[in-house]
A and B are shown apart, each in its own frame.
Chain A
Amino acid sequence: MANLAAVVGIGQTKYMTKRLDVSIAGLVREAAVNALQDADLTWDDIDAVILGKAPDMFEGVIMPETYLTDALGCNGKPMLRVHTAGSVGGSTALVAASHVQSGMFKRVLTVSFEKQSESNAMWALSNPQPFSTHLNAGAGGYFAPIIREYMRRSNAPYDVGIKVAVKDRLHGARNPLAHLQKPDITMQEVEESFMLWDPIRFLEACPSSDGACAMIIANEELADKASKKPAWIRGVAMRSEPTMYAGRDEVNPQAGRDCAADVYKQAGITNPRKDLDCAEVYVPFSWYEPMWLENLGFAPEGEGWKLTMEGATSLDEGGDIPWNCSGGVLSSNAIGASGMIRFAEAARQVRGDAGDHQVEGAKLALGHAYGGGAQFYAMWVVGSEKP
């Protein structure tokens, strides 16, 4: 049985297109310092550092963890780098948590980042290989056909994705750290935005952001003495599956369902829509909200879109299960950090520390990340109370 662990500090940067005033080192340090301040701790209080980011090809800095050692105050301390594509922010938090839950360390700092302004993600994701044709359509080109298949199967109305795009930007307008600030966005504006990868419109896709997110995770003894209310880790799970195998369900992947079942079991959740107060789920393209509502068991298969259309996932419409109150990936996408932002925002909710996007009285929240060809999954459930 794992030892108890909790989030005792959270630090983020403001997400934006270009952070020209800082290097990568400056960016990660800013998030780490913010987390230390939030926890009322200093560098000396940290036993080890767990760092995550998406592929090194993005910024072209190979093994950036070695260069970031000084900036993260871990010269002479244990440091570990995690890499699981787009889900990396989530799995980095889980690796950090496991180093505390195992009793190995008392208090660890975990950080993840992306500086997309110094990178070309589309290029980095599309290196040519002779056994496939080189079309370089990026992540949108990969996920659009899967979304099309979801639309066919579910018979969902055409404007479900448009509704999610509006809802998450309205949430983002409540969060001063969110990259996109669009408090006046309308369904019409999203519908009229240009088509990128049919059926994905420009405003149904995430932005490219610079940013970093950090958390401090401590054992029970230290969390009990924390200066602010901790977020107790109630369940942790990771799963993966191959990108390609015969009969793979790309719309509703097995690994995602298995990962959710595992994390719910640990947290004692039998009905996620009822038992959880809110969720931060990795939705980089709007239609992934209804798809993940089904994959994560919030709705029966083929009916996730109904929750979206009823306003169940909207804070502004008083929904019973708000999703992505921070604005989500649709409002800020510093790729390597995006998963950890989900985990950290779930923790903020149960700490009662989410500002204008706080879900009133939130006690139990889900943080979720996915990556690769929707094949890597990382999830945690955090609670305001000890299990």
Chain B
Amino acid sequence: MSEEQEVVTVVKAPVYLKYNFTAGAAPARFLAQIKKGVLTGQRCPKCSAVYVPPRGSCGGCGVATEEEVVLSNKATVQSFTIVYIPIPNNPIQPPYIIANVVPDGANVSFIHLMSECVNEDVHIGARVEAVWKPKEEWAFAMDNIRYYRPIDEPNVPVDQIGKLPVTGLEG
């Protein structure tokens, strides 16, 4: 044995955790629909707000949501960020836009990728639509929507963001 040994202070020991995802009643219904190419939310029986993705309850009222609502492919940009750092193990090249989008017919936003856009032109209130993966790739996953892209519709006034009916701007 050599007397001169390298001093070991840190050893990298990756831990791999594999989970079975138990969807629960509300996400199970949401995922079953998105597998068929349909984006759905759930309506609060008390305040009528529509949640997407539904988690089975309204956080504001603290009551269960049951009624299922089909949402539009069209949505509004509530806010966004332009990201300049790469996502580990993801082919998306920075800079790319992550937007908080509210689908027509829903009252909360979720984050998704934006593409087919000029980053500098994206703005709060911009109208966008979902671009889906090819049907044969649809799984039980939100990623069935590949990204959102801008559409040629008038901006939504800020006080109307998150309040449009499923029929969109024309109401």
Contacts and interface: CB of A to CB of B under 8 A. Distances in A.
Asked if A and B are interacting partners, one says yes
Interface of A: 20, 60, 118, 123, 127, 129-137, 140-141, 144-146, 148-149, 152, 194-200, 241-248
B142 A152 contact: no
A248 B49 CA distance: 12
Nearest to B161: A149
Contact of A144 (B27, B81, B145): B81
A198 B84 contact: yes
**Chain A CB within 10 Å, residue with most, of B59, B82, B85, B140:** B85
A384 B67 CA distance: 56
A60 B13 CA distance: 10
B108 A141 contact: no
Given A197-B83, A197-B84, A246-B49, A130 B60 contact: no
Contacts, number: 116
Contact of A194 (B60, B78, B84, B158): B84
Contact of B142 (A133, A145, A146): A133
30 contacts: A118-B10, A130-B31, A130-B140, A130-B141, A132-B110, A132-B111, A132-B142, A133-B143, A135-B87, A135-B98, A136-B88, A137-B87, A140-B81, A141-B98, A145-B81, A145-B98, A146-B79, A148-B79, A149-B78, A149-B79, A198-B81, A199-B81, A200-B81, A242-B60, A244-B51, A245-B108, A246-B108, A247-B60, A247-B107, A247-B162
Nearest to B140: A130
Nearest to B61: A245
A246 B143 CA distance: 23
Contacts of A194: 84
B34 to A, nearest CB: 8
**Chain B CB within 10 Å, residue with most, of A20, A136, A195, A246:** A246
Contacts of A135: 87, 90, 98, 111-113
Contacts of B110: 132
A148 B83 CA distance: 13
Given A134-B143, A135-B113, A198-B82, A245 B124 contact: no
Contact of B58 (A137, A195, A245): A245
B82 A244 contact: no
Contacts of B19: 127
B124 A137 contact: no
Q: What size tier do the contact residues of chain B reach?
A: 35 or more
Contacts of B9: 20
B45 interface: no
Interface string B38-64: 000000100101110101001110000
B162 A141 contact: no
B80 interface: yes
A123 B107 CA distance: 29
B83 A246 contact: no
B110 to A, nearest CB: 6
A31 to B, nearest CB: 20
A198 B81 CA distance: 5
A195 to B, nearest CB: 5
B81 A245 contact: no
B130 to A, nearest CB: 11
A196 B143 contact: no
A280 B118 CA distance: 40
A130 B158 CA distance: 30
B136 to A, nearest CB: 18
Contacts of A141: 81, 83, 98
Contacts of A20: 9-10
Contacts of A134: 143
A130 B9 CA distance: 38
Interface in B102-149: 107-108, 110-113, 124, 140-143, 145
A351 B113 CA distance: 50
B1 interface: no
A137 B81 contact: yes
Contacts of A241: 59
Given A129-B21, A135-B113, A152-B124, A196 B162 contact: no
Contact of B82 (A149, A195, A243, A245): A195
A148 B82 CA distance: 11
Contacts of B47: 246
B23 A130 contact: yes
B100 interface: yes
Nearest to B52: A131
Given A141-B83, A145-B81, A241-B59, 7 more contacts: A127-B19, A131-B55, A132-B110, A141-B81, A145-B98, A197-B84, A246-B51
